[in-house]
Structure 1
Amino acid sequence: MTEVRVLTPTGMLGAGFPPETVTRGLELGADVIAVDGGSTDSGPYYLGSGTAKTAAGAVAQDLLLLLRAAATAGIPLIIGSCGTSGTDSGVDWVAGLVRGILAEEGLDLRVATIYSEQRAADLPLDRIQPLAPASELDAATLHSCTHIVGMMGHEPIVAALEAGADVVLAGRATDTAVAAAFPLMKRLPAGPVWHAAKIVECGGQCTTNPRAGGVLATIDTDGFTIEPLDPDNSCTPVSVAAHMLYETVNPFSMREPAGTIVVSEATYEALDERRVRVEGSRFEPAAQHTIKLEGARISGYETMSFTAIRDPHILGQIDTWAALLRKMIGEWVARTLGLGDGDYEIDLRLYGYDAVLDGIEPDRRPPKEVGAMLLVRAADQPTATAVAKVANPLMLHLPTPDMNYLPSLAFATSPAETERGPAYEFVLNHAVDVDSPTALFRIHLPEATDA
């Protein structure tokens, strides 16, 4: 093929998109539908727990439209990082939704699944290097992870497509690999392919109205052209070029498992009011193929309490009140529970004052109201909750040192303490050297929908 049209309907499966934009993409001759199904943006919980961020109903709604489109046009549908974090359970979850829809709709599409979860015992420590700012990896950290995934490039997806898959459901994958796989399989140049894949990864994010739906990238031997799927939306040279700033360390280059996208000499030209032409991108193959590893582990158990403050006297010296609250929680917990600082942690966030910027908040004027959120973390849930309960009277009635009465603050919920369960932290930001791009991934080749 001398050109491939990649339809990306949305930045993440389950986020929704106008159905008519996908119809428009098919009318424009889309050759493949590619959509990302996950992210680490929402923190380590989803990887650590192996659960999805998105609602099953929202994912199913998107899948229904995309499976119908793929079947109508006779083109592949590729979904990466299934179930938010790309764990095996995430792939199985999306696969179950897909198979249910295929059966209900009577669609005859062959589904391949690719699993990216890793066993700590199978990973060679001597071939794993840290990615900044991570430190060297030790066996204890590796084995402490509840889930580990390897971030695949395009190669496992291509293997599934070449085996006859109509639908590819991949575990953790680079956002770009999902869109790059089909055009690379069709032997288009890697430079334009990878750059186009980076630009379309978030759907309409590279347009002037990201809420209007996704985009279509037409990739050829010299470059690519990108246009919105909504006729009233636009791409501009600035909106397209700016997406290289998104989630990258360097806006002119980005590492993939197989090499590096380089766009320092790329040009962006407006073909008209809606479309942008990009040329001059290149891809530099790496001497060593690497797979990024992501892992999360339980860091403790959390209990949350939230109270609201409207008393102007307290708000006039909110820093003093917060410092006193922290001090008295420590004293009361030591006296009543016999716990020291090393037995638990508290995090007090003053929403409406400095909860977002904390110490670098430039505006220190007294706020009109504050929501004080107390997060307690301990090695077990009962301890975290016990600390939060000890703090309860303080969060309800604590005065400032110069007040001669007890104020009444407002808890947001009853009971005031909400047990959040296990809290997780990312502990793997490393890359492992591999001899084969597909070695770490288990590819389950297509099965007919009537099997």
Structure 2
Amino acid sequence: MLGAGFPPETVDRGLALGADVIAVDGGSTDSGPYYLGSGTAKTSAAAVARDLRLLLRAAAGAGIPLIVGSCGTSGTDSGVDWVSGIVETILREENLTLRVARIYSEQTAAVLKERLGEGRVHPLPPMGDLDAATLDECTHIVGMMGHEPIAAALAAGADVVLAGRATDTAVAAAYPLMKGMPPGPTWHASKIIECGGQCTTNPRAGGVLATIDDDGFVIEPLDPAAACTTTSVAAHMLYETVNPFEMREPAGTLVVTDAVYTALDDRRVRVEGSRFEVADQYTVKLEGARVTGYETMSFTAIRDPHILARIEEWVALMHEVLAGRVSQTLGLDPSGYAVDIRPYGYNAVLGSIDPASGPPREVGVMMLVNAPDQATATAIAKIANPLMLHLPTSDMDYLPSLAFATSPAETERGAAYEFTLNHVVDVDEPTALFRIEIEGAPR
């Protein structure tokens, strides 16, 4: 991922091995809805600039294109412009002359409501039919492009393509598909290399090189100390897929049921037998996020063995006492706000399905208050302050002392977001929902 860092020598090795294109993903939904909802990046400008400087130098020196997908983490228009501004600065500082294309993927509620009215928007499980009001509530909506807009930008003469939200695979698949490589091996290779070194014996080793031909592809790590094995390569089809033998793209489905993985040596793997089944209808997946309220967080630590032996009782009592005090002081019913209390060190991650048994040794309690406005969220967290510091269980005849992690104990987190769209829209042309600009022409 752009901004996550990589060893510079792995890029040099890729060029020495004859790479025809450099492809890197710039974002993901892995870190939750905030980045799409707010239109901001999870990576720092300094980290993105460091990676881009190395990649732009490499692309310019080798005369090959550089493709970045899902710019700015979520692929919003502001994310594309943010990365574009960093690129412009680097090109100027490095005295590089490269044509830059920007592909915008953000969608308007008005256009999507027209498609919805035409019956062209469909839910993906477990979502139900889309309500038009949901589109209006989204702060940002992006369409997830396939390879076609990227290929169109390359065909128009772009040296650098900065794409909005794109499938992870489309970023790598665009150039080989444009050059006539078969879709089965191309899409499969693109899936395997989407996370770089994750398909190798050293996930931290940087990138990998895929070489695609008419019958399959060969994949090898760019770090000489790392290796691709048949297991490490085949296993990546288990990653972020509902079915390890199939993966849906906007244009169709990659099927690897008959794929054969063969070790060519102790570092390289060849894959044959992948195929791509073209869908009857081309679809673009939609992602949208909306504000759910405003959050304030407080964190305390418990070491008292008596409380820890009754931690579930303590959490339930915290909810009960806090609700009563909020009602007394603010006049608020619990339906008007939400309090999430997570005892880390007990079952904060897995909840009731946690297989661990017995009392924990210590617990960090995170409380998140969500309310319609920041002031209310913080007021509730402040009411909880003495409870987070001294709340005893019902059978204790003294006040325990717990430990706040920070002073002040309350941290305002601002707007909180949730994903609201898991739908696809039918399109007649793969590029219809996306806007391509090259060399700064007006949008």
| 1:6 aligned residue | none
1:152-167 correspondence runs (5 A): 152-167=145-160
Seq. identity, %: 76
Q: Deviations along 1:222-277, whole A, 9 cap, x unmatched?
A: 10000000111100011000000100001101110011101000000000000000
Change (3 A) 1:32 1:398: same
AA paired with 1:235?
Answer: C
| 1:314 aligned residue | 307
| 1:287 aligned residue | 280
Determine whether 1:214 maps to 2:207.
yes
Number of aligned pairs?
437
Q: Deviation at 1:412?
A: 0.9
> Which of 360, 374, 383 pairs up with 1:390?
383
> Which of 401, 412, 431 pairs up with 2:424?
431
| Large movers: runs of 4+ above 4 Å | none
> Which of 77, 100, 105 pairs up with 1:111?
100
Determine whether 1:176 maps to 2:169.
yes
Look up the SS of the partner of 1:428 in the other structure: coil
CA contact (8 A) 1:113 1:445 kept: yes
AA paired with 1:115?
Answer: Y
Determine whether 1:47 maps to 2:39.
no
Q: Deviations along 1:192-250, whole A, 9 cap, x unmatched?
A: 10010000000111001111111000001110000000111100011000000100001
> Which of 5, 11, 14 pairs up with 1:25?
14
- Alpha carbon RMSD of aligned pairs, Å? 0.9
Determine whether 1:408 maps to 2:401.
yes
1:6-155 correspondence runs (5 A): 12-123=1-112, 124-125=115-116, 126-155=119-148
> Which of 352, 365, 378 pairs up with 1:372?
365
Paired with 1:399 and 1:232, the residues of 2 have a C-alpha distance of 55
Determine which structure has greater relative contact order: mean sequence separation of CA pairs < 8 Å that are 6+ residues apart, divided by chain length. 1
Structure 1, unaligned runs of 5 or more = 1-11
Q: Deviations along 1:108-142, whole A, 9 cap, x unmatched?
A: 11100000000000111121000111111011011
> Which of 193, 200, 207 pairs up with 2:193?
200
Paired with 1:447 and 1:77, the residues of 2 have a C-alpha distance of 17
Look up the SS of the partner of 1:211 in the other structure: coil
CA contact (8 A) 1:271 1:277 kept: yes
| 1:356 aligned residue | 349
* TM-score, with length taken from structure 1: 0.96
Determine whether 1:338 maps to 2:331.
yes
Paired with 2:418 and 2:295, the residues of 1 have a C-alpha distance of 13
Paired with 1:358 and 1:379, the residues of 2 have a C-alpha distance of 26
AA paired with 1:159?
Answer: A
Paired with 2:178 and 2:337, the residues of 1 have a C-alpha distance of 53
Q: Deviation at 1:447?
A: 5.4
* TM-score, with length taken from structure 2: 0.98
Q: Deviations along 1:326-371, whole A, 9 cap, x unmatched?
A: 1101111111111111110100000111111111112131111111
Paired with 2:386 and 2:266, the residues of 1 have a C-alpha distance of 61
Q: Deviations along 1:361-414, whole A, 9 cap, x unmatched?
A: 121311111111110101111111111111111111111111111111111111
Look up the SS of the partner of 1:407 in the other structure: coil
| 1:253 aligned residue | 246
| 1:238 aligned residue | 231
CA contact (8 A) 1:345 1:377 kept: yes
Paired with 2:196 and 2:217, the residues of 1 have a C-alpha distance of 15
AA paired with 1:432?
Answer: V
Look up the SS of the partner of 2:234 in the other structure: helix
Q: Deviation at 1:173?
A: 0.2
Paired with 2:23 and 2:75, the residues of 1 have a C-alpha distance of 16
